[in-house]
């Protein structure tokens, strides 16, 4: 184990990175042989992992539950237009979007918080495509990855340069388009208005968005002295205004109708002799005869803009410009009418004598002035440009800059920019690992170089404040992604960058096993710990491992719902409060996704079965159940929250789609096979963690392992060895719920030993092709009780959470002891539904697996009610008494299960009744009735 490195020493080491082979920012192909060796290192697991995963393409899903669920997502991945995902990136760079429409929701400018999270979904999609390719080998996924990587490379190149005109068809010839989301405007020289006391301003515009207050032009110094023409005011009509005393002193002109979108409109304003007139398409629509202000009153102003406002919160004009002219006189109505069908140069007015731009340029970022005054205009971005050539995002760098001085969270201004950066980084890194496309690696490395260039300059206190902010400071799993990249590039800056995301308060408290999770945003913090585990791998610093291990134990089971999910309305509440947090916004699906990643990574370090027990629980229930069993070309159909309130109906299209959970849902559905099998680092053992139809190709051993099962509809599985022969230990997970037995045969012969629930059962031998291992693990029906309210329970059959389908919005009152088996199995109290495996009825309600992605109203939790003492469906007529803590007589009796026979059960009944009679909780007569009923009843096994 390497000695721990301090952040300071890592930063110092980064300064020596010149000795490390670097990756060029230019995508010139895999020119450097030095890149090849680190790539091989990326395939090797860290030395600290005593168990290692197999690559996705080593494990093939076979027909069954997981393959069916995956197919729905694979079809979505195959058919969705990736240009829609790229739209926000291209727009941000001022490139043509080809008419593509952004997905909407969180992925676009019109969604929540002005689309301040845009770009994240593209990263998820790239990861999904990479996993889909690994799982299927279909070339279509490679083609789509390369299309996206190529586009992102073009975007980054455009962002590195000054903006260039996007030339489109105009009213008369060519026009200059400002793509919505480009933050571009035309900057005119300060002399453009010339101090005129009379003026005409004329422009052809084609707006493409109906945002209020976007400026056609704005000339001014600030929000006090200005003159503007807005395409739409608050009432949706054009407005001209001039003032030297702020909004309250505006002298204005308002249009009478909205400008049509995606059509050319001519706007003109004249001011002379105290009269101002606004023309739309040659018609005077407003006149003000009391205008005392002219450009002369403004003087020479600092900001002379087409498309940008002096008010920073106003949107940039989205649309195209053709023919902008300024004259130092008021054109007549006839002259303005003549401009409707002619270029200014061909009209009697002629070109503007103060400024005249035809926008005939088809390249570059400069616009010629034809007025004769030489006032060349320049295309600019409102935010200037990136601080580093590696910057890549679907919005300006301003969110990252703002975060550095922000002390409070406001997601309408800064919404988790490093979280979004993580998703993009992870996506391009996965694209590289899947396709070996050097451009993707160049993008990933450049992003980390850019982040390091920003964050390494910040004081430690600033970093701690940033990462502690909800939700502006959320950075997702970026530490894990950066560490993974470091294994490829070997650049010291990249490891140093990962350390810059240390949130010391969280790490130190969790390392000390001090629970501070109450009130924290759940998914902001879960993925952090997978990253810290990777930092432990890279640095050997023990606190990272201790913190991750202890953190996991603070969530499982103390903040875990039966399905494996956690959080309420995205946040954690107090430890051990489950019933008290049931709501319509439980179990954010991202949380389950990230808890699975954390569980498997912890298992690589220490093979505690509880991690894989949890993995099975969350995977077979919440993750599978979060995906609707329905095909859709436009949406992945994945839940955001899974409400656990009675009668909740799952919403598979939350917030118009494209939420974080739909992103992770796409990933989950294309990597179901990632934890079915693990191997010991020394090759001595194969871990079978999950029972799922699949085929493993273990190249190092020269064998295959084929798992045949309909699990969980089948209560067991069969493993068949293929290929050559190899010696290794087969370690079979014995689920903690497998209390009815776990039996193993090899080639038909029973394997000796007593498998213990919640452990791994080992079969060691030299395996030969054709060897068959059969595992039988009978299910039992059981309940799990809410920690803070034992009467609130959820039903499990083996690994499967069974939920009631009932439209009632009150908790169902259910009893389960009436026909419990001698084994303690509660299943005999339910009635199987013919032809529907894992479906049962109880008290008129159908119970079905949570993993079925339907829109039925469901009851994940019910209220346990055992009003009378009943054995074997024989009712004693005696009320079931309870202690002050809620424990009933029947609870104490059945706590003794399993029973070897009826006599053992009756003996338990007799001793329990005697104790309750002695304690005064049950009368002598009622006690005798209870014992007699137990003696007379007939029981299921």
The secondary structure of 740-777 as a DSSP string is T--EEEETTEEPPS---SSEEEEEEEEE-TT-EEEEE-
Per-residue DSSP letter, 155: H
State how beta strands 59-61 and 694-698 pair.
Answer: antiparallel
Mean pLDDT across 56-84: 97
Answer yes or no: is pLDDT of 22 > 80: no
What pLDDT score does 655 carry?
Answer: 87
Calculate the alpha carbon distances from 29 to 40, 69, 441, 868 in Å: 18, 37, 10, 76
Mean pLDDT across 34-43: 35
Joined tokens for residue 570: 């995205």
List the beta bridge partners of residue 759.
734
Answer yes or no: is pLDDT of 16 > 90: no
Q: Where residue 657 falls among pLDDT bands split at 50, 70, 90?
A: confident
Answer yes or no: is pLDDT of 21 > 90: no
Q: Is 204 helix (H, G, I), strand (E, B) or coil?
A: strand
Residue labelled with tokens 């490829």: 488
Contacts of 528 (CB under 8 A, 6+ apart): 475, 477, 479, 501, 503, 506
What pLDDT score does 111 carry?
Answer: 85
Joined tokens for residue 658: 């494209």
Answer yes or no: is pLDDT of 9 > 60: no
State how beta strands 726-734 and 716-723 pair.
Answer: unpaired
How many Cβ atoms from other residues are within 10 Å of residue 9's Cβ?
14
Q: Please answer whether residues 658 and 104 qualify as being in contact, where contact means their C-beta atoms are separated by less than 8 angstroms.
A: yes
Answer yes or no: is pLDDT of 43 > 80: no
Answer yes or no: is pLDDT of 668 > 80: yes
Cα distance between residue 824 and residue 741, in whole Å? 13
What pLDDT score does 72 carry?
Answer: 97
Q: Give the N- to C-terminal CA distance of the chain in Å, as an integer.
A: 53
> pLDDT digit string (tens) for 546-570?
999 999 999 999 999 999 999 999 9
- Between helix 542-555 and helix 504-511 the angle, nearest 10°, is 80
What pLDDT score does 26 carry?
Answer: 35
Answer yes or no: is pLDDT of 6 > 80: no
The burial class, CB within 10 Å (0-12 / 13-18 / 19+), for 453 is: middle
pTM comes to: 0.93
Mean pLDDT, the chain, integer: 94
Per-residue DSSP letter, 334: H
Q: Where residue 8 falls among pLDDT bands split at 50, 70, 90?
A: very low
Phi, psi of 731 (to 5 degrees): -105, 110
Cα distance between residue 121 and residue 127, in whole Å? 10
Answer yes or no: is pLDDT of 40 > 70: no
Calculate the alpha carbon distances from 417 to 150, 467, 474, 487 in Å: 23, 11, 8, 24
Mean pLDDT across 322-338: 97
- What is the H or E stretch that residue 579 is in? none
CA dihedral 617, 619, 625, 626 (to 10 degrees): 130
Q: Please answer whether residues 388 and 453 qualify as being in contact, where contact means their C-beta atoms are separated by less than 8 angstroms.
A: yes
| CA 563, 569, 570, 572 torsion-angle sign | negative
What pLDDT score does 190 carry?
Answer: 96
Q: Please answer whether residues 338 and 349 qualify as being in contact, where contact means their C-beta atoms are separated by less than 8 angstroms.
A: yes
**Edge-to-edge strands, sheet with 694-698:** 59-61, 694-698, 703-708, 716-723, 772-776, 743-746, 749-750
pLDDT above 70 coverage of the chain, percent: 95
Contacts of 771 (CB under 8 A, 6+ apart): 720, 721, 746, 747
Q: 335: closest CA among 416, 272, 279?
A: 279
Q: Where residue 400 falls among pLDDT bands split at 50, 70, 90?
A: very high
Chain-centre distance of CA 490, in angstroms?
28
State how beta strands 685-688 and 726-734 pair.
Answer: parallel
Cα distance between residue 469 and residue 112, in whole Å? 19
**Edge-to-edge strands, sheet with 366-367:** 251-254, 239-243, 226-230, 215-220, 303-306, 184-187, 377-381, 366-367
Mean pLDDT across 350-375: 97
Calculate the alpha carbon distances from 724 to 487, 683, 703 in Å: 33, 16, 6
Mean pLDDT across 160-170: 97
What pLDDT score does 885 carry?
Answer: 87
Calculate the alpha carbon distances from 123 to 368, 422, 444, 491, 896 in Å: 40, 8, 11, 23, 53
Answer yes or no: is pLDDT of 24 > 70: no
> pLDDT digit string (tens) for 96-135?
999 999 998 999 898 899 899 999 999 999 999 999 999 9
- Domains observed in the chain: 7-20+44-153+388-668 (1.50.10), 184-381 (2.60.120.200), 677-711+716-776 (2.60.40.1180), 867-941 (no CATH)
Residue labelled with tokens 């494996």: 564
Contacts of 196 (CB under 8 A, 6+ apart): 294, 295, 296, 328, 354
Cα distance between residue 242 and residue 225, in whole Å? 8
Phi, psi of 447 (to 5 degrees): -60, -45
Show the DSSP H helices in 15-118 as ranges: 36-43, 65-79, 82-92
Q: 135: closest CA among 208, 188, 58?
A: 58
State how beta strands 749-750 and 759-767 pair.
Answer: unpaired
Mean pLDDT across 185-202: 97
Answer yes or no: is pLDDT of 11 > 80: no
Q: Is 385 helix (H, G, I), strand (E, B) or coil?
A: coil
Q: Where residue 734 falls among pLDDT bands split at 50, 70, 90?
A: very high
Cα distance between residue 342 and residue 349, in whole Å? 10
- What is the H or E stretch that residue 539 is in? helix 522-539
How many residues are listed for the chain in this entry? 941
Mean pLDDT across 181-190: 97
Q: 465: closest CA among 419, 406, 507, 515?
A: 406
pLDDT above 90 coverage of the chain, percent: 94
Answer yes or no: is pLDDT of 13 > 80: no
Joined tokens for residue 230: 């807005």
Q: Where residue 930 falls among pLDDT bands split at 50, 70, 90?
A: very high
Cα distance between residue 923 and residue 709, in whole Å? 52
User: 832: alpha, beta or left, given left = phi > 0 and alpha = psi -120 to 50?
Assistant: beta
Show the DSSP H helices in 413-521 as ranges: 417-435, 438-455, 460-467, 478-489, 492-499, 504-511
Mean pLDDT across 716-735: 98
Q: Where residue 773 falls among pLDDT bands split at 50, 70, 90?
A: very high
Q: Please answer whether residues 102 and 84 qualify as being in contact, where contact means their C-beta atoms are separated by less than 8 angstroms.
A: yes
Q: What is the DSSP string of 883-905?
A: -TTS-BHHHHHHTT-S-SSHHHH
Scored b (16 or more CB within 10 A) or e, 549-580 reads: bbbbebbbbbbbbbbbbbbbebbbbeeebbbe
Cα distance between residue 707 and residue 61, in whole Å? 10
């Amino acid at each position: 184990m390497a000695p721990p490195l301090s952040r300071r020493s890592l930063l110092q080491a980064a300064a020596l990175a010149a000795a490390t082979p670097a990756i060029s920012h230019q995508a010139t192909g895999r020119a450097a042989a030095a890149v090849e060796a680190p790539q091989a290192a990326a395939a090797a697991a860290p030395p600290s992992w005593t168990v290692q995963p197999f690559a996705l393409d080593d494990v093939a899903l076979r027909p069954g539950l997981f393959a069916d669920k995956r197919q729905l997502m694979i079809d979505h991945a195959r058919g969705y237009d990736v240009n829609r995902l790229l739209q926000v990136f291209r727009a941000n760079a001022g490139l043509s979007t080809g008419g593509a429409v952004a997905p909407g929701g969180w992925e676009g400018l019109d969604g929540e918080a002005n689309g301040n999270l845009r770009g994240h979904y593209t990263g998820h999609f790239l990861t999904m495509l990479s996993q889909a390719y690994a799982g299927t080998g279909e070339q279509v996924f490679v083609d789509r990855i390369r299309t996206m990587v190529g586009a992102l490379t073009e975007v980054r190149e455009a962002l590195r340069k000054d903006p260039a005109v996007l030339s489109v068809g105009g009213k008369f010839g060519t026009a200059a388009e400002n793509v919505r989301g480009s933050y571009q405007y035309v900057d005119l020289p300060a002399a453009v208005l010339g101090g005129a006391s009379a003026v005409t301003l004329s422009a052809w515009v084609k707006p493409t968005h109906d945002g209020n207050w976007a400026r056609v032009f704005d000339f001014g110094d600030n929000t006090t002295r200005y003159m503007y023409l807005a395409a739409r005011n608050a009432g949706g009509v054009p407005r001209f205004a001039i003032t030297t005393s702020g909004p309250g002193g505006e002298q204005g002109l308002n249009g009478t109708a909205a400008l049509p979108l995606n059509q050319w409109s001519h706007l003109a304003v004249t001011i002379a002799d105290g009269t101002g007139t606004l023309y739309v398409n040659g018609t005077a629509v407003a006149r003000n005869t009391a205008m005392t202000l002219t450009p002369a009153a403004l003087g020479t102003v600092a900001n002379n803009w087409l498309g940008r406002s002096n008010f920073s919160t106003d949107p940039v004009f989205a649309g195209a410009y053709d023919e902008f002219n300024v004259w130092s006189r008021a054109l007549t109505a006839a002259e303005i009418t003549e401009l409707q069908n002619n270029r200014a140069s061909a009209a009697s007015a002629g070109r503007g004598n103060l400024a005249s731009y035809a926008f005939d340029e088809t390249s570059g970022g400069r616009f010629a002035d034809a007025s004769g005054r030489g006032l060349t205009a320049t295309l600019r971005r409102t935010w200037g440009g990136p601080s580093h050539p590696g910057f890549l995002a679907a919005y300006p760098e301003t969110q990252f800059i703002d975060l550095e001085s922000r002390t409070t969270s406001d997601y309408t201004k800064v919404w988790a920019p490093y979280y979004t950066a993580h998703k993009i980084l992870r996506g391009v890194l996965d694209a590289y690992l899947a396709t070996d496309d050097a451009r993707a690696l160049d993008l990933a490395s450049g992003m980390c170089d850019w982040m390091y260039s920003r964050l390494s300059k910040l004081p430690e206190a600033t970093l701690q404040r940033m990462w502690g902010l909800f939700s502006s400071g959320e950075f997702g799993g970026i530490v894990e992604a950066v560490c993974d990249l470091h294994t490829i590039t070997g650049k010291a800056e990249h490891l140093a960058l990962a350390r810059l995301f240390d949130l010391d308060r969280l790490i130190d408290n969790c390392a000390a096993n001090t629970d501070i999770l109450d009130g924290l945003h759940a998914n902001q913090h879960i993925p952090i710990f997978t990253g810290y585990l990777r930092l432990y791998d890279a640095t050997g610093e023990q606190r990272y491992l201790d913190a991750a291990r202890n953190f996991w134990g603070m969530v499982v089971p103390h903040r875990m719902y039966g399905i494996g999910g956690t959080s309420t309305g995205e946040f954690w509440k107090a430890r051990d409060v489950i019933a008290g947090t049931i709501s319509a916004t439980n179990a954010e699906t991202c949380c389950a996704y990230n808890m699975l990643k954390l569980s498997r990574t912890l298992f690589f370090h220490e093979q505690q079965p509880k991690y894989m027990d949890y993995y099975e629980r969350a995977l077979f229930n919440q993750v599978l159940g979060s995906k609707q069993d329905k095909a859709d070309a436009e949406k992945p159909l994945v839940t955001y929250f899974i409400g656990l309130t009675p009668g909740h109906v799952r919403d598979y299209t939350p917030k118009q789609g494209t939420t974080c959970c739909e992103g992770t849902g796409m990933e989950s559905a294309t990597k179901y096979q990632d934890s079915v099998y693990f191997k010991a680092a020394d090759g001595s053992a194969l871990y079978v963690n999950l029972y799922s139809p699949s085929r493993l190709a273990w190249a190092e051993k020269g064998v295959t392992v084929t798992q045949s099962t309909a699990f969980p509809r089948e209560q067991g599985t069969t493993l068949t060895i293929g290929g050559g022969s190899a010696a290794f230990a087969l370690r079979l997970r014995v689920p903690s719920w497998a209390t009815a037995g776990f039996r193993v045969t090899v080639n038909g012969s029973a394997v000796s030993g007593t498998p213990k629930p919640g452990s791994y059962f080992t079969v060691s031998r030299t395996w030969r092709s054709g060897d068959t291992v059969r595992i039988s693990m009978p299910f039992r029906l059981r309940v799990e009780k809410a920690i803070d309210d034992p009467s609130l329970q959820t039903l499990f059959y083996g690994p499967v959470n069974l939920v009631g389908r009932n439209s009632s919005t009150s908790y169902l009152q259910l009893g389960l002891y009436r026909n419990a088996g001698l084994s303690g199995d509660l299943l005999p109290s339910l009635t199987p539904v013919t032809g529907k495996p894992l479906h049962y009825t109880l008290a008129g309600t159908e119970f079905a697996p949570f993993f079925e992605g339907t829109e039925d109203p469901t009851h994940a939790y019910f209220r346990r009610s055992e009003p009378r003492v009943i054995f074997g469906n024989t009712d004693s007529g005696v009320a079931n008494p309870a202690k002050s803590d809620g424990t009933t007589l029947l609870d104490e009796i059945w706590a003794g299960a399993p029973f070897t026979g009826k006599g053992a059960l009756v003996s338990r009944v007799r001793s329990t009744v005697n104790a309750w009679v002695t304690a005064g909780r049950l009368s002598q007569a009622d006690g005798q009735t209870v014992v007699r009923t137990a003696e007379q009843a007939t029981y299921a096994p």
